Amino acid sequence: MSLLIVGSVALDSVATPKGTVADALGGSATYFSLAARLFAPEVNVVAVVGEDFPQYHTEMLLARGINIDGLTVKKGKTFRWTGRYDEDFGDPETLDTQLNVFEEFAPELPEHYCGSSFVFLGNIDPALQRQVVTQIKSPKLVAADTMNFWIEGKPDELKALLAEIDLLIINSLEVGMLSCEKNLLCGARKILEMGPKALVVKRGEFGSLMVTADDIFLLPAYPIEEVIDPTGAGDSFAGGFMGYLALRGEVNFAELKRAIVAGTVIGSFDVEGFGVERLSSITKEDVRKRMQHFREITEFSIPEF
């Protein structure tokens, strides 16, 4: 089934303890789509770039089977972000943000995108996310991401969005901010009361947690010996998660659990290279092998006692 991602396409300059990269391809829609294409039959992107956006990036996305009919080129420069990671690879320090054409981003979906079965609203203004929802015809599942900036700056718009979506993917810190609860599980329960049927919590090196009204699923992170660049790992996780659901075409707790495994594995590839260099090069066979290994190292039986 078709999968739609609405988000950002950017040029990132990143410094980590493993090196630096300048004007590398980035943005939530980029990481998401490159992850999702490993599962989903059809990935549709809505984003905006400037006249300076390199043609070879466009060609790479097309070569990976990603539909970019919704990638608009506007007069001006592409969104740019500059960040730096410390030795612990925690949240990066933002050194510079230039919104450029992204500042005026108003997502309009091509007509053939409006029938997308699965929809992911990347981390943009919740008012814009709601505009996208109104353009979609009978989606099977609508999921969204958000961040502290919108939680603090546009709480009413965000709560209105939460009442209209099926699933929210955020990190542990954002759960606390949105719910005003210190306990993660209590916070998750409170967020479910705002509208979503399921909440997926990204916990970085500690894995992920999914909570619904009736069930809980906890999964560790896939162990990586050398992290190069964590940029886009969360978006890659979301892309793998949603891409798997689009492949299966079903939304139930068993499939949601498998989707989290898919997202976790894809996210583990992302951190092994700068920007999208690793994510853009992996194959479905690479993913299958890592998923099998992940199953082997997490599976256990309960002994008699």
Per-residue pLDDT at 122 exceeds 90: yes
Q: Tell me the mean pLDDT in the region 243-253.
A: 97
| Nearest Cα to Cα of residue 200 among 252, 243, 254, 241 | 241
Model pLDDT for residues 220-229, shown as the tens digit of each residue: 999 999 999 9
Q: Average pLDDT of 259-283?
A: 97
| Every domain of the chain and the residues it spans | 2-167+228-248+263-298
Q: Which string of DSSP letters, residue by residue, matches 46-71? A: EEEEETTS-HHHHHHHHHTTEEEEEE
pLDDT digits (tens, 9 = 90+) for 46-101: 999 999 999 999 999 999 999 999 999 999 999 999 999 999 898 899 999 999 99
Rounded CA separation 20/16 (Å): 6
pLDDT, tens digit (0-9, with 9 covering 90-100), for 132-188:
999 999 999 999 999 999 999 999 999 999 999 999 999 999 999 999 999 999 999
CATH topology for 2-167+228-248+263-298 is UDP-N-acetylmuramoyl-L-alanine:D-glutamate ligase (3.40.1190)
Work out the average pLDDT over 110-137: 96
Taking the C-alpha atoms of residue 193 and residue 176, their distance in angstroms, rounded to an integer, is 15
d(CA 165, CA 157): 13
